[in-house]
Structures are given as C-alpha cells and as structure tokens.
Amino acid sequence: MLKSPFGGFFYNDWKSELTFIRSSDVGCGNGDLTAQIAAAGAQPTGIDFSEETIRQARQKYPDMNIQVA
C-alpha cells in the first residue's frame, strides 16, 4: 500500500485497473506525486511552468514523462 500525501492510500489491488489510465499532474513540482501515481499503475504526465522544478523532477525521476508548460 502506498501512502498518499493527502492522507489516503493508493491500494495495490487497484494497480491492474489503473494500468490503462492516463492522467496529468498539473503543477507537479518535484514530481513526487506524479511518481506515486505511476507507482499505483497509471500513466501520468507531470506538468509545471517552472523549468527549475522540472529539471529537478527529471533528475529524480528520469523515466517519467515530465514537461514544462
């Protein structure tokens, strides 16, 4: 079970259902929530307007789809 930063939980039981879900994490900052969404099985895209935070997120999570927009 993964702990959500919002106090809830992402259950591993949901992983098979999330595999085909694409989501956008707008204002993703350092990418931590985007990574949790991916770990739960979805296919997220992290988006932020700050080139610096996107650079940090890409360093932290090089395999994730994280974009400046």
Residue corresponding to tokens 């993703």:
28
**Joined tokens for residue 20:** 């085909």
Q: How confident is the model at residue 1 (pLDDT cuts 50, 70, 90)?
A: very low
pLDDT at 8: 53
Predicted confidence (pLDDT) per residue in 11-68, tens digit: 555 555 666 688 899 999 999 999 988 888 888 999 999 999 999 999 999 999 999 9
Collect all residues with Cβ–Cβ distance below 8 Å to 52 and sequence separation of at least 6: none
| Phi-psi category of residue 31: left, alpha or beta, with phi > 0 → left and psi -120 to 50 → alpha | left
Domain boundaries, the chain: 27-69
What are φ and ψ of residue 18, in 5° steps?
-85, -10
